[in-house]
Amino acid sequence: MELRIGVIGTGAIGEDHIRRITNVVAGAKVVAVSDINVENAKRIAEEYNSVFYETGEQVIHSKEVDAVVIASWDPTHAHFVLECIKASKYVLCEKPLATSAEDCKKITEAEIACGKHLIQVGFMRRFDKGYKQIKSVIESGKIGEPLMLHCIHRNRIPGPKHTTVMSIKNSVIHEIDVIRWLLGEDYKSAQVIIPKSTRLAEEGLKDPQIILLETQSGVRIDVESFVNCQYGYDVQCEVVGEKGTVRLPDPANVRMRLKGVNSYEIYPDWSDRFIEAYDIEFMQWVNSVKQETLFGPSAWDGYVACVTADACTRAREEGSIVPIMMPKRPAFYDNEERGKRL
């Protein structure tokens, strides 16, 4: 049986996921779409032979829809996820799960109350080959205990209406999740340093930013966030251990020797840089929904990431080092297997 998926938000990544579900993933099809940009959503519905619905709520509650993908703007996520829980439907919600830890908490409470793991968060870097290799090197013990991580997250240009807060809650949230997954531990404190801002940023936007995190065992992490870097999409991660280091490979583009220069292209954005990760994320999600056992990042992971992002925001506003008070994980989220089997 094909899994019938409804997609809310048919913008950049929504359309890409619809293409992916239709052309790449086996055993699923997009049957319903909705977007407040009605014209674009209707065009996509026609192109992919699915039905346009006026609202996201109608998609979620439709009898024709088995599972939902949320790819609308960040502030809409919490409401749609809660609605999916009401309808008892599986949902893959793009990151962030919500724009505040408070809203994430409501989501985890609603999921616990319904008694069924329904939510997966779109932290697709956990499915990326490079990050997976780093995780297995760390777990092999070859480089000894990790001591420090140096990370870079650069976007060529930011999306429309990008704010200083979004550099963390919408962008660095990827590092917040994937580093916690790599190290298998939560954070203890956060600090944000604001260097000289680029003149190419919109007025009022602090860009770049340096985010400093400390884990509970004392591992130190620095993340450079630079959303106006101009030259391409550049994600880097190096783990420094007691005996050696391990780092993400640059994306495997062909090398060109031309006019005295040996070079390779840098991808312009996330859609090509992480294309395989998104593909694997969706294939595994569809299979796990069919087996009624999710393995990908949970609502708890989404919550913890938002707690950390909120602490970073406070740290920037106050110019101080902010302790991160991690909530106690309810037994409902104790499934250690989830995340390990990716």
Ligand X SMILES: NC(=O)c1ccc[n+]([C@@H]2O[C@H](COP(=O)([O-])OP(=O)(O)OC[C@H]3O[C@@H](n4cnc5c(N)ncnc54)[C@H](O)[C@@H]3O)[C@@H](O)[C@H]2O)c1
The residues binding ligand INS (CB under 6 A) are 155, 159, 170-171, 174, 270
Q: Which does 76 bind (CB under 5 to 8 A by kind): ligand X, ligand INS, none?
A: ligand X
Of the candidates 153, 160, 172, 159, the residue with the CA atom closest to the CA atom of residue 273: 153
Binding region for ligand X (CB under 6 A) out of 65-73, 107-115, 230-238, 320-328: 65-73
Residue number of the CB closest to ligand INS reads: 171
Of the candidates 236, 186, 192, the residue with the CA atom closest to the CA atom of residue 212: 192
Query: Binding ligand X by CB under 6 A: which of 9, 130, 158, 339?
Result: 9
Smallest gap, in angstroms, from Cβ of residue 156 to ligand INS?
10
The upper half-sphere exposure of residue 267, i.e. CA atoms within 13 Å in the direction of its Cβ, equals 16
Smallest gap, in angstroms, from Cβ of residue 96 to ligand X?
7
x-or-dash pattern for ligand X, window 240-279, by CB under 6 A? ------------------------------x---------
Q: Which does 268 bind (CB under 5 to 8 A by kind): ligand X, ligand INS, none?
A: none
The upper half-sphere exposure of residue 252, i.e. CA atoms within 13 Å in the direction of its Cβ, equals 5
Tell me: does residue 37 bind ligand X (CB under 6 A). yes
Smallest gap, in angstroms, from Cβ of residue 154 to ligand INS?
8
Element (H, E) at 19: helix 12-23
Q: Which residues contact 313 (CB under 8 A, 6 or more apart)?
A: 165, 168, 169
Q: Hunting for tokens 């992490």 — which residue is that? A: 221
289 phi/psi in degrees, rounded to 5: -65, -40
Structure tokens at 69: 């993908």
Residue number of the CB closest to ligand X reads: 11
17 near 69, Cβ under 8 Å?
A: yes
Which lies closer to ligand INS via its Cβ, residue 33 or residue 172? Answer: 172
Tell me: does residue 56 bind ligand X (CB under 6 A). yes
Tell me: does residue 94 bind ligand X (CB under 6 A). yes
Alpha carbon distances (Å) from 269 to 142, 156, 231, 264: 33, 7, 10, 15
Binding region for ligand X (CB under 6 A) out of 12-20, 46-54, 213-221, 318-326: 12-20
Tell me: does residue 235 bind ligand X (CB under 6 A). no
176 near 213, Cβ under 8 Å?
A: yes
Which lies closer to ligand INS via its Cβ, residue 35 or residue 66? Answer: 35
Secondary structure of 249-281 as H, E, C letters: CCCCCCCEEECCEEECCCCCCHHHHCHHHHHHH
x-or-dash pattern for ligand X, window 104-123, by CB under 6 A? ------------------x-
Which lies closer to ligand X via its Cβ, residue 31 or residue 143? Answer: 31
Smallest gap, in angstroms, from Cβ of residue 115 to ligand X?
27
Structure tokens at 117: 């793991």
Tell me: does residue 170 bind ligand X (CB under 6 A). yes
> Within 10 Å of residue 270's Cβ, how many Cβ atoms?
20
Tell me: does residue 207 bind ligand X (CB under 6 A). no
Q: Which does 56 bind (CB under 5 to 8 A by kind): ligand X, ligand INS, none?
A: ligand X
Element (H, E) at 103: helix 101-114
Contacting residues toward ligand X, per CB under 6 A = 8-14, 34-37, 56, 71-74, 76, 94-95, 122, 124, 159, 170, 270
